[in-house]
């Protein structure tokens, strides 16, 4: 069913009797050409583009829980393409461009809202780094501006400019950055994929892989064996668990990242802001909640919950930056499991097993990457060669010494 102004009007006047399910709940078939493991944002986007853009068929998405229940349903909704390195920036800029056309493309209002993102600058060295980054962004076709302290003051007069431990000296602004209604991204892709014939199979956990003579034949699931010519795994924090079924060890660790929302407030923060000196980033949702976060807890975890030290650290950062939020209240804290890679950048690559493909290692960056991740993974699955913007996201980059390390922290996942 296509959504339109006419349809909205008709349904409103006739008691909403005509709305149909946004996706089916099919039973799995015996085999598919493509199985995508993971019904989160990346898996659903992969299936959608595989069917729609790459004209492939006989596709299933297997999800162990409910669609969109992973990190796409528990992030801080930020989109941006303010990356530094050549391995990353073209990919994230491709993603941002896909975001910009997404709603018209899948006929679903995911509330893509480009209200701008600023990264605050506190030292001269940080300004030099922001200059380098801003130039890299522009040279990759993205937008960037360096704001002075006075320009930041016009945007956010209530920041703590004068009594701050780390003075605000300016900001790197990407005006095309912003936020998206995260759940709607999953649903939009799910609905789109379903309408192109993709079988979305919920409550179907992959419990094993059938591999013979170096080739994958299908997956064992909680709903029985399902055959496949190609299997693409896009399960974020569960990557190591799922790929262990193929005997693979990955260059990544799973870590919990907490995120927070305040009670609903009348608008105070228009865009997205990051406070590097204090591990804090914030935006305000269309419902009025301040959505914010900071660092990962720092220890391997699959628990989807964190502990007080990071909660307090993040909110200290918020209070240091904006002492006017002291009387707003924290409504809810939650945790998602990040697939923290060894250089802070993702992998979209074939494996050594014929027909088995992998997409993961997204660290904090998974949400904003969703459209391009799906597109590039679909490209790899359909054509057996990487998309031009995702060429660097290879497994063997660590063996070859071609790491894509934005933060320069080396082989320690919890520092990325």
Partner 1 sequence: MSQSNRIAGGQIDRSKTLRFHFDGLPYLGHPGDTLASALLANGVRLMGRSFKYHRPRGPISAGSEEPNALVELRAGARQEPNTRATVAELFDGLTAQSQNRWPSLKFDALAINDRFNSFFTAGFYYKTFMWPASFWEKVYEPIIRRAAGLGSLSKLEDPDTYDKGFLHCDILIIGAGPSGPSAALTAGRAGARVILADEDFRMGGRLNAETFALGDQSGADWATAAVAELSTMPNVRLLNRTTVVGAFDHGIYGAVERVSDHLPEPEAGKPRQTFWRIYSKRAILAGGATERPIAFENNDRPGIMLAGSLRAYANRWGVAVGDRAAIFTNNDDGLRTAVDLQAKGVDVVAVIDSREGGDLLSGIRHLRGAEVIDSDGRLGLSAITVRQANGKTETLKVNALGVSGGWNPNVNITSHHRSRPIWREDIAAFVPGSGEIANLLVAGAAGGTLSTHGALVTGDEMARLALDSLGLTAKAANLPKAEDAPVRITPMWYVEGSSRAWIDPQNDVTVKDIKLAHQENFTSVEHLKRYTTLGMATDQGKTGNVLGLAVMAGLTGKTIPETGTTIYRPPYTPVALGALGGRGRGREFKPFRLTPSHKWAEEQGAVFVEVGYWMRTQWVPKAAETEWRQSVDREVLATRKSVGICDVTTLGKIDIQGTDAGAFLDKVYANTFSTLAVGKCRYGLMLREDGMVFDDGTTARMGQHEYVMTTTTANAVTVFRHLEFCRQVLWPDMDVQLISTTEAWAQFSVAGPNARKLLQKVVDQDISDAAFPYMGAGNITVGGLRARLFRISFSGELAYEIAVPTRYGDAMIRKLMEAGAEFDAVVYGTEALGVMRIEKGHVAGNELNGTSTALNMGLGKMVSRKKDSIGMLLSQREGMTQADGLRLVGVKPVNPADALKAGSHFLKTGAAATAQNDDGWLTSLVYSPHLGHYIALGYLKNGTDRIGETMRAVNLLAGTDTPVEIVSPHFIDPEGERLRA
Partner 2 sequence: MIINHPILGPRDAQEFVYLGDASLIHRPDGMTASIETFHDYTYLRDNPAGLHRELWYHEQGDRSWLVVTRNTVTHEITSVELARDVARAEGRSK
The 3-state DSSP class for residue 270 equals: coil
Looking at residue 73, what DSSP letter applies?
A: G
Of residues 18 and 309, the one with the C-beta less far from partner 2:
309
Q: Which residue's entry shows tokens 């923060």? A: 269
The residue count for binding partner 1 (CB under 8 A) is 116
Would you count residue 130 as binding partner 1 (CB under 8 A)? yes
What is the smallest separation between the CB atom of 330 and partner 2, expressed in angstroms? 19
What is the token pair recorded at 401?
């010494």
CA distances to 7, 12, 87, 264, 359 from 393, in Å: 43, 47, 8, 39, 9
> Residue 89 binds what, of partner 1, partner 2, none (CB under 5 to 8 Å, by partner type)?
partner 1
Residue 234 Cβ vs partner 2, minimum distance, rounded to whole Å: 17
Instruction: Using the rule CB under 8 A, give the single segment among 27-35, 149-157, 215-223, 292-300 that binds partner 2.
Output: 292-300
Sheet holding 289-300, edge to edge: 145-148, 170-174, 117-121, 272-275, 280-284, 289-300
**DSSP H/E element including 119:** strand 117-121
User: Per CB under 8 A, does 71 bind partner 2?
Assistant: no
Q: Which of residues 309-348 bind partner 2 (CB under 8 A)?
A: 309, 342
Angle between helices 182-195 and 366-383 (to 10 degrees): 20
**110 versus 369: smaller Cβ distance to partner 1:** 110
Angstrom distance (rounded) from CA 239 to CA 236: 5
List binders of partner 2 among 224-253 (CB under 8 A): 238, 240-241, 244, 249-253
Contacts of 148 (CB under 8 A, 6+ apart): 170
For residues 317 to 346, the per-residue mask of contacts with partner 1, x marking binding by CB under 8 A and - elsewhere, is xxxx--xxxxxxxxxxxx------------
Site for partner 1, residues 206 to 265, rule: CB under 8 A: 262-265
Q: What are the DSSP calls for 181-236, one per residue?
A: -HHHHHHHHHHHHHHTT-EEE-S--EEEEEEETTEEEEEEETTEEEEEEEEEE--G
If binding is defined by CB under 8 A, does position 155 make contact with partner 1? no
Q: How far is the CB of 170 from partner 2 (least distance, A)?
A: 32
| Three-class secondary structure of residue 13 per DSSP | helix
Answer yes or no whether residue 407 interacts with partner 1 by CB under 8 A. yes
Choices 37-45, 119-127, 174-182, 302-310 (CB under 8 A): range interacting with partner 2: 302-310
- Sites for partner 2 among residues 387-406 (CB under 8 A): 398-399
- Only one of the segments 39-47, 49-57, 368-376, 408-416 lies at the binding site for partner 1 (rule: CB under 8 A); that segment is 408-416
* Partner whose binding site includes residue 413, from partner 2, partner 1, none (CB under 5 to 8 Å by kind): partner 2
Nearest approach in angstroms of CB 358 to partner 2 is 14
Output the smallest distance, CB 19 to partner 1, in A.
5
Three-state DSSP class for 113? Answer: strand
> Helix, strand, or coil here: 279?
coil
CA distance to 17, 219, 228, 391, per residue, from 35 (Å)? 34, 9, 6, 22
> Which residues lie near partner 2 (CB under 8 A)?
238, 240-241, 244, 249-254, 298-303, 307, 309, 342, 398-399, 411-414
């Amino acid at each position: 069913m296509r959504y339109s102004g006419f349809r909205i009007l008709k349904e409103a006047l006739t008691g909403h009797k005509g709305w149909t399910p946004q996706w089916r709940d099919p039973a799995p078939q015996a085999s598919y050409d493509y199985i995508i493991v993971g019904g989160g944002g990346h898996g659903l986007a992969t299936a959608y583009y595989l069917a729609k853009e790459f004209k492939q068929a006989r596709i299933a998405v297997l999800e162990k829980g409910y669609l969109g229940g992973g990190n796409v349903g528990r992030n801080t909704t930020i989109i941006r393409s303010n990356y530094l390195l050549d391995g990353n920036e073209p990919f994230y800029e491709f993603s941002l461009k896909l975001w910009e056309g997404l709603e018209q493309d899948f006929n679903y209002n995911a509330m893509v809202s480009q209200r701008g993102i600023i990264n605050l600058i506190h030292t001269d060295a940080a300004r030099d780094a922001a200059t380098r980054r801003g130039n890299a962004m522009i040279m990759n076709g993205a937008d960037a501006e360096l704001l002075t302290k006075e320009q930041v003051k016009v945007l956010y007069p209530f920041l703590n400019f004068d009594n701050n431990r780390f003075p605000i000296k300016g900001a790197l602004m990407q005006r095309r950055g912003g936020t998206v209604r995260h759940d709607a991204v999953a649903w939009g892709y799910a609905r789109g994929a379903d309408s192109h014939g993709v079988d979305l199979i919920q409550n179907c956990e992959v419990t094993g892989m059938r591999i013979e003579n170096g080739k994958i034949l299908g997956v064992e699931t909680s709903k029985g064996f399902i055959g496949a010519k190609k299997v693409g795994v896009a399960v974020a924090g569960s990557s190591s668990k799922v790929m262990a079924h193929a005997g693979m060890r990955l260059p990544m660790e799973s870590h919990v990242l907490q995120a927070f929302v305040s009670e609903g407030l009348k608008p105070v923060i228009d865009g997205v802001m990051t406070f590097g000196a204090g591990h804090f980033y914030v935006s305000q949702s269309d419902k009025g909640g301040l959505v914010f976060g900071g660092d990962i807890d720092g220890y391997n975890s699959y628990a989807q919950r964190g502990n007080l030290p990071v909660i307090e650290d993040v909110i200290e950062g918020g209070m240091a930056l904006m002492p006017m939020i002291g009387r707003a209240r924290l409504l809810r804290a939650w945790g998602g499991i990040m697939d923290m890679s060894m250089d802070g950048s993702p992998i979209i690559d074939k494996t050594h097993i014929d027909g088995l493909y992998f997409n993961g290692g997204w660290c904090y960056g998974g949400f904003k990457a969703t459209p391009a991740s799906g597109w590039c993974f679909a490209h790899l699955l359909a054509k057996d060669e990487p998309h031009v913007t995702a060429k660097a996201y290879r497994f063997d980059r660590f063996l070859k010494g071609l790491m894509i390390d934005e933060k320069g922290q080396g082989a320690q996942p919890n520092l990325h």
